Structure 1
Amino acid sequence: MKENVKKCALVTGGSRGIGRAISIQLAKDLEYHIIVNYKGNKKAAEETLSQIISLGSTGELLQFDVVDENDVKGKLDAWQENNKNAFVEVIVNNAGITKDMLFMWMTNKDWTSVINTSLQGFFNVTNHLIQKLLVNRYGRIINLVSVSGLKGTPGQTNYSAAKGAVIAATKALAQEVAKRKITVNAVAPGFIKTDMTSELDEKELKKLIPANRFGEAEEVAHVVSFLASKKSSYITGEVININGGIYS
């Protein structure tokens, strides 16, 4: 690939929480143009972008819903058309939602929306972009999963199923593309301080965690940044746990 090509890292759900921390860490550590994807919260996405720019890095916002295949294709194709010298070399599939409920009371909508955001979102974004990674013979795909996808969490049958499926997909895809110098890894956070965990009883839950605390979003972001770098070239098909020892 020509040196004048603008190499980019795309972070889905990059406007808040772990996604924001990842977007900022990639801007700090690596020389990528950061594409911050968001679904609806433009204000939060703009705040993330302003932090990226304040670091002296470059970035932009790209709005699409990872669940909507046509939206993903349309927005990514339009972006590529407007940025003919740009190339998405790093894909961070971070978008995810929770709809916690005991399975016996779970609605079809709560099941489907959670599965689709994590699993179908992974497919829609990665499948659309992977051809260029294969042609270029280099790339990094990093999927944000969860301790729930490894051990299962009561009240999260939908979320556990979604993340467990992405873990299996990570391992399979890694084997398909390794010869092209494309790595595919998953990062599995435990309890991390974000909007998503703000309603949990941190004081009680931290008693279950050997490290006796919730993690910080930046601690997840450091691992993602390493996996997005050339330093991680012999690591693929792995799930890296960041959970303070709760599942060790």
Structure 2
Amino acid sequence: MDFPRFDVEGQVALVTGAARGLGRAIALALAHAGADVALGLRDVEADGGVATEVEALGRRALRLPMDVADVDQVRAAVRRTADELGGLDILVNNAGIAPGSMAIDVTEDLFDATLALNVRGTFFAAQEAARVMRERGGGRIIMIGSQAGEVALPGETVYCMTKAAIAHLTRCLAVEWGEHGITVNNVAPTFIRTDGTAPALADPAFEADVVERIAALHRIGEPMDVAGAVLYLASPAAGLVTGHTLLVDGGWTAR
């Protein structure tokens, strides 16, 4: 009898937006579980020490210039991962932005910049990874979406729209690429304590409202809460899971 395995021993992962926040936690969790990790970075000289931490866990780390808004950089980073680390088994599409603006005030520049990172860059990273994975007989692609793809957040209209797009893109790619042994899933967190959410959560009234809306657990999430979901979907234990959005929201969307 084969019992479920929750490790990624001997695999190669690429994590976009790996310098901080969710990307950093995900990169370290994958390394802890046995993967070598390519780190997609906007600035390879400012990785926040994550490469050193990956190596301290006994795994290889590859720092890559990867502005996800630049499709040429995206494609080059995927290919370098495969060439220099010997393949690509796991892609975590984490990089994105969440600029706040009421819909009536959204500018064309804000709209275009949000879609360029959150949708366009994510799509082409997945496309290039799938090309490599087809040659290897399979792989795992994991999107980092948001509960914002399921619920409306005032002042986040464009962001919500992009994360809803990612949830459906996940389903479409899962159907197309399943025959190649590639699973595609989406992890959709609630508010997580990161540098990006710190300014909003610094407002006691806002934090109290968020905690109240996280109806089941009443706590703000931590980056490793999200990393655990990613690790599950990357592991052999999730071999029959594809096209799925896994909400890591403490019960926000349950009520």
TM-score (structure 1 length as normaliser): 0.91
**Cα deviation 1:77-130 (Å, max 9, x = unaligned):** 45555x2x7111100000011110101011111111111111111122111221
Which one-letter code corresponds to 1:9 in the other structure? A
Matched with 1:208 is: 213
1:22-61 to 2 correspondence within 5 Å?
22-29=26-33, 31-40=34-43, 42-43=45-46, 45-61=47-63
What are the residue-to-residue correspondences of 1:78-93 with 2, within 5 Å?
Answer: 78=80, 80=82, 83=84, 86-93=86-93
What is the alpha-carbon distance in structure 1 between the residues aligned to residue 13 and residue 80 of structure 2? Answer: 17
CA separation of 1:76/1:139 partners in 2, compared to 1, >3 Å: closer, same or farther? Answer: closer
Going from structure 1 to structure 2, the CA distance change for 1:80 and 1:228 (only over 3 Å counts) comes to closer
**1:129 aligned partner:** 129
**Does 2:46 align with 1:21?**
no
Identity of aligned residues (%): 30
Structure 1 equivalent of residue 190 of structure 2: 190
Aligned to 1:12: 16
Q: Name the CA distance, whole Å, in 1 between partners of 2:144 and 2:210.
A: 22
| Residues 97 and 130 (structure 1), Cα distance of their counterparts in 2 relative to 1, 3 Å cut | same
Residue 231 (structure 2) aligns with: 225
Q: Which residue of 2 aligns with 1:163?
A: 163
8 Å contact from structure 1 (residues 46, 61) kept in 2: no
Relative distance call for 1:198 and 1:146 in structure 2 (3 A) is same
SS at match of 1:215: coil
Gaps of 5+ in 2: 1-9, 201-205
Question: 1:188-208: CA deviations, max 9, x gaps?
Answer: 000111112101232332122
Matches for 1:91-106 after TM superposition, within 5 Å:
91-106=91-106
CA–CA separation in structure 1 for the residues paired with 2:123 and 2:14: 14
Q: Deviations over 1:20-54 (max 9, x none)?
A: 0000000111x3210011113732x1411111111
| Aligned-partner residue type, residue 207 of structure 1 | E
Residue 74 of structure 1 aligns with an amino acid whose one-letter code is: A
Question: Shift of the alpha carbon at 1:16?
Answer: 0.4
Instruction: Tell me the secondary structure at the aligned position of residue 150 of structure 2.
Output: helix
Find the aligned partners of 2:145 and 2:106 in 1 and give their Cα distance: 21
CA RMSD of aligned residues (A): 1.6
Residue matched to 2:249 = 243
State the partner residue of 2:69: 67
Letter in 2 for 1:134: R
1:137-173 CA deviation, whole Å, 9 max, x = no partner? 2100000000001112111111011111111110011
8 Å Cα contact 1:15/1:41 also seen in 2: no
Note the residue ranges of structure 1 that are not aligned, 5 or more in a row: 1-5
Separation in 1 of the partners of 2:124 and 2:32? Answer: 28
Aligned residues: 239
Q: Shift of the alpha carbon at 1:134?
A: 1.5
Structure 2-normalised TM-score? 0.89
